[in-house]
Amino acid sequence: MQRQSLCFNQRILSQCSGARTVMGERYAFTAEWYDINASMIKRYQLLFYSADNTVEMFDIKNRRLFLKRSKCERVKLNDLYIGAIVNIHSRQLTIVDFGDEFTTKKLSSIKEKTFGLIKPDCVPSKMGEIIDRIISEGFIICQLKMVQLSSKEAAEFYQEHRGKSFYEKLVDFMASGPVVVFELTGDNAVTRWRELMGPTDSSVARQEAPHTIRAQFGTDVTRDAVHGSDSQEAAKREYDFFFGSKASNLRKNTDRIFQNCTLGLIKPHAVLDGQAGKIITAIRNAGFNISALQLYNMEKANTEELYEVYKGVVAEYSSMVEELTSGPCIALEITGDGAHSLFRELVGPHDPEIARHLRPDTLRAQFGVNKVKNALHCSDLLEDGPLEVEYFFKIMDS
């Protein structure tokens, strides 16, 4: 059966190969979709035509055309990499592999992955600025979350430094507060991320590479703002520690009881437009505490559950669901006395146009586009805040 599937894939690609020269380059990927009704994963050959942003899909198991070539404006070549979750006509697909030799050769180097970490000295005060710097350098943030390491976990993560003079100090520091961990994709990501970080000693970085992250935000050798993998092999190991098989044992955030909190949800259009770091910085500059953070790709069922109160009440309901399932969003837990009402004031009116006229300093006035793409969702009612925070950081994770 596997050999038949391989032959089928090759036949598909052979039949479509002429499109590379006639209609621009055609890229092939293997993608998976979880069919919730059948409780099974279905696998597809996904073809993307860069000349006109069209896609085509073939059902690998049943060896037949599943989706005729059609326009898909919201999917760009930059969105397509191994591990990416893309929305094709309201169906979320996970790309698990390149589909042919051409795509592998063309994209493997520019879709390289690496691992990064923002250290406790810059969380939460500078994490928005660092995230913004990463995005401005052309990296794609594929995974992102805030975690709290125990001393044992910090020691395990830095086990290659065991026995060195700075080891104990480093472990204690890394367990002293939350860290933000992320996976990056980009052209020669491992090398470029290390160049962007700068020398390990922040004082040396300020002299030799003043525009690097450690030069701008680091203090010394230990409190040097960020960590990055030094090879692809290290990136895979470190990614697995925080996002793979070992990740279930980590505390995602500091201990919380879902009280005195509210939800801030940075919508996909703002994330894809590179505004996430700026929004996080604006929230911090306004004096709010961000006690939890994580990137999610929302499925339609989850989004409809979150937005259930708007169904039949808000005219934009269907468009709101479509927007929130169109790409990655970033959930934030905002904590503190009066957090709910104060944060809603900062977010501003639902319609960004009204916000720009009446309250130009609000987040929706600055980052919103229209009533659907209005930068952020925030909890409507005081009692909704803890429930929505728990929905993301407890129920969604389970």
d(CA 360, CA 362): 6
Measured CA to CA in angstroms, residue 122 lies from 131, 134, 136, 217, 256 at distances of 11, 14, 18, 7, 21
More confident residue, 364 or 85: 364
d(CA 241, CA 7): 37
d(CA 69, CA 47): 9
Exposure string of 270-291, with b = 16+ CB inside 10 Å and e = fewer, is: bbbebbbbbbbbbbbeeebebb
d(CA 196, CA 231): 15
d(CA 254, CA 197): 26
Region(s) of the chain under CATH 3.30.70.141: 112-249, 261-396
Residue 386 pLDDT exceeds 70:
yes
% of the chain beyond a pLDDT of 90: 75
Helix, strand or coil for residue 231?
Answer: coil
Q: Is the dihedral of CA 391, 94, 118, 239 positive or negative?
A: positive
- Asked: is 112-249 a CATH 3.30.479.30 domain? The reply is no
Q: Tell me, what's the pLDDT at 78? A: 86
Measured CA to CA in angstroms, residue 87 lies from 62, 94, 131, 143, 327 at distances of 22, 9, 24, 17, 7
State the pLDDT confidence band at 66, using cuts at 50, 70 and 90: very high
Amino acid letter at 263?
Answer: L
Region(s) of the chain under CATH 2.30.29.170: 2-107
Residue 17 pLDDT exceeds 60:
no
State the pLDDT confidence band at 101, using cuts at 50, 70 and 90: very high
- Whether 303 and 60 have beta carbons less than 8 Å apart is answered as no
Q: Tell me, what's the pLDDT at 389? A: 95
Exposure string of 314-348, with b = 16+ CB inside 10 Å and e = fewer, is: eeebeebbbbbbbbbbbbbbbbeeebbebbbebbb
Measured CA to CA in angstroms, residue 100 lies from 11, 14, 31, 36, 352 at distances of 11, 10, 13, 29, 44
Q: Tell me, what's the pLDDT at 170? A: 94
Exposure string of 358-370, with b = 16+ CB inside 10 Å and e = fewer, is: ebeebbbbbbbee
Q: What is the pLDDT of residues 211-250, one digit of tens each?
A: 999 999 999 999 999 999 999 999 999 999 999 866 656 6
Q: What is the pLDDT of residues 147-181, one digit of tens each?
A: 999 999 999 999 988 988 889 999 999 999 999 99
Q: Tell me, what's the pLDDT at 171? A: 96
Q: 88: closest CA among 376, 300, 273, 308?
A: 300
Helix, strand or coil for residue 192?
Answer: helix
Q: 216: closest CA among 227, 226, 228?
A: 226
d(CA 274, CA 271): 5
The first and second tokens of residue 390, run together, are: 């728990």
Amino acid letter at 332?
Answer: L
Measured CA to CA in angstroms, residue 1 lies from 4, 32, 96, 364 at distances of 5, 18, 19, 52
Indicate the Cα dihedral angle 375, 376, 380, 381, nearest 10°.
-150
The first and second tokens of residue 13, run together, are: 């690609």
Measured CA to CA in angstroms, residue 172 lies from 29, 155, 178, 223, 328 at distances of 44, 9, 12, 11, 33
Q: Quick count: other Cβ atoms within 10 Å of Cβ 308?
A: 10
Sheet of strand 54-59: strand arrangement: 64-71, 54-59, 40-49, 26-35, 91-98, 85-88
Q: Tell me, what's the pLDDT at 109? A: 75
Helix, strand or coil for residue 184?
Answer: strand
Q: Tell me, what's the pLDDT at 18? A: 44
**355 burial via Cβ count (<10 Å: 0-12, 13-18, 19+):** buried
Q: Is the dihedral of CA 276, 282, 283, 289 positive or negative?
A: positive
Catalytic residues: 227
Topology of domain 261-396, CATH: Alpha-Beta Plaits (3.30.70)
DSSP state of 198: -
Residue 297 pLDDT exceeds 80:
yes
Residue 2 pLDDT exceeds 50:
no
d(CA 219, CA 305): 45
Query: Distance of alpha carbon 126 from its chain centroid, rounded?
Result: 18
Which class is 2-107 in CATH?
Answer: mainly beta
